[in-house]
Amino acid sequence: MDPTMSLPLAQWAVFFSFLSAILPLLFLRRPYLLVRIAFLFLGIAGIASAWAGATALLTNHVEQIILPLGLPWLHVFLRTDPLSGFFLFIVGLITFIIACYGPAYVRAHIGGPCPIGCLTFFTGLFAGGMMLVLLAADAYSFMIAWEFMSVASYFLVAYQHDQAENRSAAFIYLLMAVVGGAFILLAFGVLAGFCGSFSFAAMAAAQVSPAWSTIAFLLAFIGFGMKAGIVPLHVWLPLAHPVAPSHISALMSGVMLKVAIYGFIRFVYGLLGGIQWQWGVLVLLTGAASAVLGVLYALMQHDLKRLLAYHSVENIGIIYIGLGLSMIFQATGHMEIAALALIAALYHCLNHAVFKSLLFLGAGDVLQQSHQHDMEKMGGLIRIMPVTAVCFLVGCISISALPPFNGFVSEWLTFQAALQGTVLRSGILNAMIPVASAILALTGALAAACFVKVYGVIFLGRPRSLQAAGTQETSFGMRFAQILLALCCLIFGLFPTWVVHAINVIPARLLGVGLSKVADNGWLWLAPVSKQTASYGAIPVLIGLLVSWFIVFIFLHDPRQDNRIRIAPAWDCGFGPLTPRMQYTSSAFAMPIRRVFSFVWSIFEKIEPARQGKGPRYSLQITDWVWLIIYLPLGKLILKLAERTSRIQGGNLRVYLSYSFFTLLFLLWVIV
């Protein structure tokens, strides 16, 4: 593996991403050929990006070039290192799998009201923009790539713009993206003011006062957090993800949110330095709140993709818990524990990208075949779509953090870092970290309950509508993409020692210290702290599970008994034949949790009695308090201010000239 190939490969990845957007436009009159060419080049871009990222990560090599582009005094700096390489691998892996999934999925949109060329064009630009963000080594090129990524994803969210709901979601997403970008620009501006340069190397070497460092941190925390979807900046996620095409939802949730995490890590660990423990407390508390509120919001949803969007809030919260622990331990001088927490956060970035993309692709299969977003109208799909059902089950187990799949490992590592909180001398921190750990444990339990509901309502039981009964298994390409992701969930869960060993070079560069005891018991057992403290062996756990299942199977299926299948009417308790209305619904499953945590939402519940031969009607409306308390009043205030400001537009030319004249006098007075 040639270490000098990482940056050229990454550049080729960007080139093929843009080529996948532009070249197919030559075939607008042949949409089927257009789709094939677009996703072919996108797949090549994904392979090149993953290869470049793996090369930079595994060789621990840093490479940088300066391109004479942009303004005369602002050139473009491109750089690959282990941190950007790790995220380039994530972007490339998911992009390649999306390229396998996309052709069959996108064919359903051919001939529809929205041109297919727009979808493939902005998909290529979106993927290329994310790669450029990871390659940028100066604030100028970073912000251009960041806005490029945001604008391209806006057009993808607004792709089906014939529906008012989609236009509204796209507008809110673009508004949040613009505001977040402004905060990031201000954060870079603070550092540029101390070093007089926009390059990351100059910013990292600048001597910034603690007060200005805190200001820059808060600006970056808000800006990158808005794109990542932390509470209370998450409101765009449940609006944008359900309306975007499913493969775009997988790219946005599985990849774009990780690009925001990369930006935050790069800014805080790479540029700021001198991390203060108060910053870590803020990140830890925000992560804990995002994790538990995200999963509680998800439990109340009926729309499958909206539910998955809220689970992105939950998993971003788990990543922020790991980052907060890392910052606290680094600020207090416990560098190896800080490295462990950072590795846990990075590992969960990889895991979430894989299993969330798998779930969104599975949701795309279900929605395309059933033409239903409401889970209450699905059911019984396991018999009709067995491959999708098995892959979706792997994603459900992974996101629920159950062994032996990958989601368990990263959350287990986060717990291992939190359990080392006893080394801290601060009583406040010693009390806060166990509370965050308890919230993380509660989040895992609620996530498992949520996906028991999701899988049971969608795939088990009997179809609840004619559309669900008329579904069929999807094409090979869509199934192949899900099988690849399901295998990744298993591989990253079975071989965590290898993954941690590869990621270990990142904290070694950012913190100066990595984990020294990852494989004290060999590659089979992961021992992040020491083999005496805790260790985890995924393969022995898998063997134990298989043996247990085999014993239970033998116990329940005695070969001496008559196991021939006998067909007979099911016992109906005397109420007549079974119907889908007798099945447990999504609302009924979540009702006990809704009663316990009723203070989290604004709940409107109404029961209308039977009238004129119609049965009773039950309606339930659950609204996010964050939207009601923060965003609706803020929106009304802005509209009022805009209405009052509009009064200065009198239409009189003399008045406008007076505005210009007095503004000019004021500026001359200030400057002189």
Instruction: Write the pLDDT tens digit of every residue in 264-274.
Output: 999 999 898 78
Minimal CA–CA distance to 524: which of 492, 497, 504?
Answer: 497
pLDDT bin (cut points 50, 70, 90) of residue 505 is: very high
Greater model confidence, 638 or 315:
315
CA pair distance 208, 635, nearest whole angstrom = 36
Instruction: Write the pLDDT tens digit of every residue in 89-124.
Output: 999 999 999 999 989 888 877 877 778 888 899 999
Mean pLDDT of 488-501: 92
- pLDDT > 90? residue 68: no
At 146 the pLDDT is 95
Do 323 and 346 contact (CB within 8 A), yes or no?
A: no
Tell me, yes or no, whether 440 lies in a domain. Answer: yes
CA pair distance 101, 476, nearest whole angstrom = 9
Lowest mean pLDDT of 220-229, 407-416, 447-456, 590-599, name the range: 590-599
500 shares a domain with 430 = yes
In which residue are the tokens 């964050």 written?
626
How far lies 598's CA from each of 299, 301, 333, 624, in Å? 12, 14, 41, 11
pLDDT bin (cut points 50, 70, 90) of residue 561 is: low
pLDDT bin (cut points 50, 70, 90) of residue 616 is: confident
- pLDDT > 70? residue 507: yes
Distance of CA 582 to the CA centre of its chain: 36
- Picking from 554, 582, 609, the residue at the C-terminal end of a domain is 554
pLDDT bin (cut points 50, 70, 90) of residue 308 is: very high
How many distinct structural domains can be found in the chain?
A: 3
Minimal CA–CA distance to 442: which of 659, 614, 291, 620?
Answer: 291
Tell me, yes or no, whether 68 lies in a domain. Answer: yes
At 272 the pLDDT is 87
Lowest mean pLDDT of 306-310, 437-441, 451-455, 661-665, name the range: 661-665
- Picking from 172, 201, 230, the residue at the C-terminal end of a domain is 201
Phi, psi for 138 (deg, rounded to 5) = -150, 155
Instruction: Write the pLDDT tens digit of every residue in 422-434.
Output: 888 877 888 888 8
- pLDDT > 70? residue 574: no
548 shares a domain with 649 = no
Tell me, yes or no, whether 531 lies in a domain. Answer: yes
527 shares a domain with 645 = no
Phi, psi for 381 (deg, rounded to 5) = -80, -10
Tell me, yes or no, whether 322 lies in a domain. Answer: no
Minimal CA–CA distance to 620: which of 377, 301, 311?
Answer: 301
Instruction: Write the pLDDT tens digit of every residue in 148-164.
Output: 999 999 999 988 887 88
Lowest mean pLDDT of 170-179, 545-554, 617-626, name the range: 617-626
Tell me, yes or no, whether 140 lies in a domain. Answer: yes
Q: What residues make up the domain containing 510?
A: 354-554
Return the structure tokens found at 32: 């089927």
> What percentage of the chain reaches a pLDDT higher than 90?
43
Mean pLDDT of 327-346: 92
CA pair distance 122, 153, nearest whole angstrom = 7
- Picking from 144, 177, 201, the residue at the C-terminal end of a domain is 201
512 shares a domain with 455 = yes
3-state secondary structure of 531: coil
Return the structure tokens found at 176: 């949040």
At 593 the pLDDT is 81
CA pair distance 311, 63, nearest whole angstrom = 36
How far lies 521's CA from each of 111, 410, 531, in Å? 59, 19, 7
At 604 the pLDDT is 76
39 shares a domain with 113 = yes
Measured N-to-C along each axis, helices 406-418 and 304-331 cross at an angle, to the nearest 10 degrees, of: 30
CA pair distance 216, 204, nearest whole angstrom = 13
CA pair distance 524, 296, nearest whole angstrom = 36
613 shares a domain with 543 = no
- pLDDT > 70? residue 366: yes
539 shares a domain with 612 = no
CA pair distance 201, 164, nearest whole angstrom = 46
